Each structure stands twice: as C-alpha cells, then as structure tokens.
Amino acid sequence: MLSVVADVGGTNIRLAVCCNKTGDVSHLRTFACAEFLTLDATLFQYFSTLPEKVSALCLAIACPVEEDLVSMTNLSWQFSKTSLKEKLQLDHLFVINDYTGISLAVPFLNDQQKIKIGGGEADPLGVTAVFGPGTGLGVSHIIHVAKKWISLDGEGGHASFAPNTSEQADVLLLLQEQFGHVSAERLLSGQGLVNIYHAMCRLEGKAVEFHEPRQVTEVALENNCSIATRSLTLFCEVMGGFAGNLALNLACTGGVYIAGGVVPRFIEFFSNSEFRSFFEAKGRFKTYLESIPTYLITHDNPGLLGATVFLRQELGYIEE
C-alpha cells in the first residue's frame, strides 16, 4: 500500500510516491493541469502507473482548504474532499495549503538546499518564519509542539506595506493612487516588482518600457536600465524590512526563510543587496535581529517535501 504526495499549482501538478519511514520520494511525475478537466482525472492517471494500490494521499494546493469543497483560485478545478477520498478508495486523505507544505519543508532542508544570508545560528526548535514572493506573497510561521511541526497559516502578505525610506514612501504614495490600500504583496511579488518599476518610472518622468517581471529582472541584471536596476534594489530592501517584521512578530529564533519563484532568478544580486541591512534596521531592536539568520530556499520543490512531512507526521512516522 503506497503513500502519494502532490503539489498542485495553477499550471502544473507534481506527484510522487513517499516512503513513510524515510520520506524519500520516487515515481516523480509532473502533469500540466490544462491537460485534465478535473483533479481526480489527473490522480487516476498517475495512480494507474504505480505498482501498488494507494492508501494515503496528501495534497498541497494553492487555495483555501478549510471547507469540504475546495475550489482552486487560478484554475477551474474544484472537488469535495469526502467524494475524492471515496472515488480514489483511500484510507487517508490530507489536503493542505501550499504554504503549509512549503513551511513544513524548512526543518528538513539540508545545507545544499538553502543559502544563508547573514545572522547567527538558528535554534533548531525555535519559531521560524517563511515567506515567498511569487504570483502573490505567501506567509507562514512554524512551531515545534509535542514532537510535531505545526504550520501557523495566515494572510500576512496582505498586511499594509510600511516604507522605511523617503524613496519607498514616494512609491507608496503612487501605489495608493492606483490601489487605495497598498499591501506588502503589491510590492513583494512578480507583479509587485513591475508595480515598483512603473512607480519609479513616474518618479523619474520616464516612459514605461517593461510590463513583465522577467523583463524588469533581465534588464536590471544586465545593467541596461538604471530604473529597472533601482527597482530591483528597492524590491530587495522592502523584502528585508518585511522579513524583519516577521522575525519580530513571533521572536523567530529559528530564522526567516524566503521561498517563492521570484528571488531565485537573481540570487547573486540578492545576496549582494541591502536586504540584510534593512532586515536589521529596527532601531532599538537592531542587536536583537542581528542574531537571527535569514535563508533563501533553493530546493526544487519544497511544497512536495513539506507534503511528505505532513503526511508522515499524521501517520505517526515522524517523531522529533
């Protein structure tokens, strides 16, 4: 009897068989969501390739998962947890938010799957913050309680953006004209980088040339556009201030981790940026934050890794 984990995004679904004892994965497959009308059709297709019956399944999925009916935000897929469990004849079905999965992966990352960006040594059982600029801005914290890792989910990406320089304040005022309330996600996401660039163009009185985050990143890294370079610089500064706020909120002695699809595109630029100085720039608590480490996650699929952690904890195979 097999255990299967899945990381379900708006574009692709990644599936693997999980070894309950070790957490190792095998039979890794990726399917394009657009090729299937429903989630269960995708799962039936994958299950048909496996040598044994599947008894347990954990889905990490990019949408709210609290109710029995789960509807994906950026895809037409929806399903009933009860009905899906019956259709697939499962003994166990776990459905978690994708950021629950990403956060639960953190304690199990090795040194080759993360890059340290300053700070002291992490408390291995300390409260840990995880956030990630991507399509949006995901935020979570994890705590260790009763020999188990628990993800504290929330909507921290929609907390109000707090500028820390006059330039950031100028950008905020322009974004307020456009959006009204300006959340951190309006700056710290793929579209957020574009928002910053457009605002910087207005401040400089220059015409907007780029409308995609990849375009802004590429010309910034090539030093072919000073406004794009400054926009990426400001992005890293804002990210540092936001990460420092997360560290203060719950005394994150376990560190602060950055996930998401945006930052890995410019690792060297990020490592040399003012991210860390803005992380620590909290006035009287600068010394407090100097000791808290920050990391960039480089694991190819932390959501899938976290799904294995959740499943194995629920089945009683992980006892820390």
3-state secondary structure 159-197: CECCCCCHHHHHHHHHHHHHHCCCEHHHCCCHHHHHHHH
Dist. CA 118–CA 172, nearest whole Å: 28
Dist. CA 109–CA 112, nearest whole Å: 8
pLDDT digit string, tens, across residues 1-60: 899 999 998 889 999 999 999 999 999 999 999 999 999 999 999 999 999 999 999 999
Residue 308 parent element (H or E): helix 302-314
Tokens representing 244? 């420092």
pLDDT digit string, tens, across residues 153-197: 888 999 999 999 999 999 999 999 999 999 999 999 999 999 999
Residue 287 parent element (H or E): helix 286-290
Over 90: is that where the pLDDT of 147 sits? no
Q: How confident is the model at residue 75 (pLDDT cuts 50, 70, 90)?
A: confident
CATH number of 110-298: 3.40.367.20
231 contacts 238 by C-beta, under 8 angstroms: no
Comparing CA positions, the residue from 263, 259, 270 lying closest to residue 302 is 259
Dist. CA 279–CA 245, nearest whole Å: 8
Question: 10 Å Cβ neighbour count for 51?
Answer: 7
pLDDT digit string, tens, across residues 267-296: 999 999 999 999 999 999 999 999 999 999
Q: Which fold has domain 2-103+301-314?
A: Nucleotidyltransferase; domain 5 (3.30.420)
255 contacts 292 by C-beta, under 8 angstroms: yes
Dist. CA 156–CA 162, nearest whole Å: 13
Comparing CA positions, the residue from 86, 85, 21, 38 lying closest to residue 57 is 85
In the chain, CATH 3.30.420.40 sits at 2-103+301-314
pTM: 0.91
Over 60: is that where the pLDDT of 320 sits? no
* Average pLDDT of the segment spanning 114-139: 94
DSSP E strands in the chain: the ranges are 2-8, 12-18, 25-32, 54-61, 69-71, 78-80, 92-97, 114-116, 128-133, 137-145, 148-153, 256-258, 294-297
In the chain, CATH 3.40.367.20 sits at 110-298
Over 80: is that where the pLDDT of 74 sits? no
Arithmetic mean of pLDDT over the chain: 95
Tell me, what amino acid is at 199?
A: A
Percent of the chain scored above 90 by pLDDT?
90
Q: What is the dihedral of CA 244, 250, 256, 260, to 10 degrees?
A: -90
Dist. CA 28–CA 46, nearest whole Å: 10
Dist. CA 309–CA 20, nearest whole Å: 9
Q: How confident is the model at residue 258 (pLDDT cuts 50, 70, 90)?
A: very high
Q: How many residues does this entry show for the chain?
A: 320
